[in-house]
Copies of this chain bind each other. A is one copy, B any other.
């Protein structure tokens, strides 16, 4: 018959007397809310006030060993008092990078939007799961509306979509959908017996294309790299040739993953011309617009994505340029045949019961590979409501104006050498210290230049004045990539940026 409840060995029995009164919940709301309010005040003071103040540091560099000790990370048997915990909140804030600081130029998640942040706090507190209408009525409907709004900007009046935990996941979903559309039997039978599949992308596309190919059992070798032009944009003629070549070698091309806003250069692949090639070969066209998608808000700059409406799928991360906050990534689909659900569904009867009293098409969870899925739409929705499409467009337009200003200023100064005129808001440049100027012909020039950016970076981090990234690319040695889009940035910050690079690098 039925099992007994598991019995514990004697020495481990927890006597009921050791438990607090069963009628007294383990959480004290008054105490908890007091703590939360005090923590909120610290967060506002440390992260939102000091953390965005140009008179304060962007980062407080500590060596890992020292930092670990300062934070006292160890987890112990007993708990701690409220004051000590509040100090921990303060310490975590103090030693963390201030990504909202106007002088954080390091990556595509700079800045803060207070309406989005309020939406994030509300999301966290409501703590629900975006899989059924039953537990997330507001967010099921809201996600649909936000996806509709984003799709409209792509140029689609209908379609499908889903929020994913990051752009890589969005790109990988697109890959899986493209494969499923061509070979639906893969879902049940796997890739066994199928010919080798091939994906086409550019060497400047995001690394998630390769990670996805590895995860999906397609293999990174089967991601064929299409040549790019000087600006880092995929060359459609080479794409066509590579597809033909791949076919002639027995592979089955099924997906072209192009990019709107490449990670390093911010390049936009020529979507319209790539769409012609995809049409010709009947391939799924995916646009990784994780970074660049937000230009669609701007009347002035949306031409960069001309042809996006001809794609089958678009990945777009409002957590980047729109400052919605991590994580916020939408996969948008032109499909109207419920492909997303057919490809991903497992029809779990404990969650997606068909005899519910409401329309079970609102139980959207089976569209995802995830089960638990965080609500990522509210922050974007509330921010969009707050500033409107026009306000979001203004942010995009202003970022371009800032970049134009920065580029003009660089040209007026001796030490700044652009890789090329930026197409987007990534400005890639070398800083040439005085000692290297005019020495381009020297044998050790490239080696010495390669060491400039890392040294300047180390100095700026240790002094905490600002943050900007650098990297090599192809045959180009380390160069800086400054990302300018935070709505907190002003011209003064751009002037500071240039002066600071000179200050930190002039002696090199």
A386 with B85: CB separation less than 8 A: yes
Residue A122 contacts which of B68, B93, B113, B222 (CB distance < 8 angstroms)? B93
A372 with B317: CB separation less than 8 A: yes
B359 with A78: CB separation less than 8 A: no
B300 with A14: CB separation less than 8 A: yes
Q: Provide the bound-state CA to CA distance between A390 and B420, in Å.
A: 59
Closest to A209 in B: B346
Beyond A75-B146, A92-B378, whether A210 also contacts B346 by CB under 8 A is yes
Closest to A68 in B: B141
Q: Provide the bound-state CA to CA distance between A391 and B450, in Å.
A: 52
Q: Which of A39-63 contact B (CB under 8 A)?
A: 39-40, 43-44, 47-49, 52, 59, 61-63
Beyond A125-B48, A190-B196, whether A12 also contacts B371 by CB under 8 A is no
Beyond A215-B369, A421-B2, whether A135 also contacts B391 by CB under 8 A is no
Assess whether A201 is interfacial by the CB under 8 Å rule.
Answer: no
Residue of A29, A167, A384, A405 ringed by the most chain B CB atoms within 10 A = A29
B64 with A26: CB separation less than 8 A: no
A454 with B114: CB separation less than 8 A: no
Assess whether A394 is interfacial by the CB under 8 Å rule.
Answer: yes
Minimum CB–CB distance from A99 to chain B (whole Å) comes to 5
What chain B residues lie within 8 Å of A136 (beta carbons)? 96-97
Assess whether A490 is interfacial by the CB under 8 Å rule.
Answer: yes
Q: Provide the bound-state CA to CA distance between A63 and B358, in Å.
A: 8
B44 with A37: CB separation less than 8 A: yes
What chain B residues lie within 8 Å of A168 (beta carbons)? 369-372
B371 with A166: CB separation less than 8 A: yes
Q: Which of A102-110, A274-282, A431-439 touches B?
A: A102-110
Q: Which of A106-124 contact B (CB under 8 A)?
A: 106-107, 109, 111-115, 117-122, 124
Residue A165 contacts which of B24, B140, B370 (CB distance < 8 angstroms)? B370
B80 with A461: CB separation less than 8 A: no
What chain B residues lie within 8 Å of A95 (beta carbons)? 137-138
B121 with A134: CB separation less than 8 A: no
Minimum CB–CB distance from A21 to chain B (whole Å) comes to 8
What does the 1/0 interface line of A172-209 toward B look like (CB < 8 Å)? Answer: 10001000000000111111101111000000001110
Minimum CB–CB distance from A70 to chain B (whole Å) comes to 10
B117 with A124: CB separation less than 8 A: yes
Residue A78 contacts which of B165, B188, B390 (CB distance < 8 angstroms)? B390
Beyond A189-B221, A210-B346, A346-B207, whether A120 also contacts B128 by CB under 8 A is no
What chain B residues lie within 8 Å of A326 (beta carbons)? 127-129, 372, 374
Q: Provide the bound-state CA to CA distance between A387 and B348, in Å.
A: 36
Q: Which of A241-249, A331-339, A467-475, A497-505 touches B?
A: A467-475
Q: Which of A154-162, A253-261, A395-403 touches B?
A: A395-403
Residue A100 contacts which of B59, B127, B191 (CB distance < 8 angstroms)? B127
What does the 1/0 interface line of A138-153 toward B look like (CB < 8 Å)? Answer: 1111100110010000
Beyond A135-B107, A350-B481, whether A303 also contacts B190 by CB under 8 A is no
Assess whether A507 is interfacial by the CB under 8 Å rule.
Answer: no
A478 with B114: CB separation less than 8 A: no
What chain B residues lie within 8 Å of A37 (beta carbons)? 40, 44
B138 with A92: CB separation less than 8 A: yes
Residue A96 contacts which of B139, B216, B420 (CB distance < 8 angstroms)? B139
What does the 1/0 interface line of A73-92 toward B look like (CB < 8 Å)? Answer: 11111111000010011001
Residue of A62, A114, A188, A391 ringed by the most chain B CB atoms within 10 A = A114
A319 with B372: CB separation less than 8 A: yes
Q: Which of A418-455 contact B (CB under 8 A)?
A: 418, 420-423, 450-451, 454
What chain B residues lie within 8 Å of A133 (beta carbons)? 64
Assess whether A235 is interfacial by the CB under 8 Å rule.
Answer: no
A215 with B8: CB separation less than 8 A: no
What chain B residues lie within 8 Å of A107 (beta carbons)? 129, 135
A96 with B385: CB separation less than 8 A: no
What chain B residues lie within 8 Å of A219 (beta carbons)? 186-192
A48 with B33: CB separation less than 8 A: yes
A-B contacts, 26 of them at CB < 8 A, read: A14-B300, A26-B487, A29-B48, A32-B113, A36-B117, A37-B44, A40-B121, A64-B362, A73-B141, A79-B386, A80-B388, A93-B126, A117-B125, A124-B124, A127-B325, A135-B467, A168-B370, A190-B218, A191-B217, A192-B219, A211-B346, A326-B374, A353-B454, A353-B478, A355-B454, A356-B454
Contacts A95-B138, A121-B121 known; 7 new A-B pairs at CB < 8 A: A74-B145, A76-B389, A92-B138, A97-B136, A188-B220, A190-B219, A215-B216
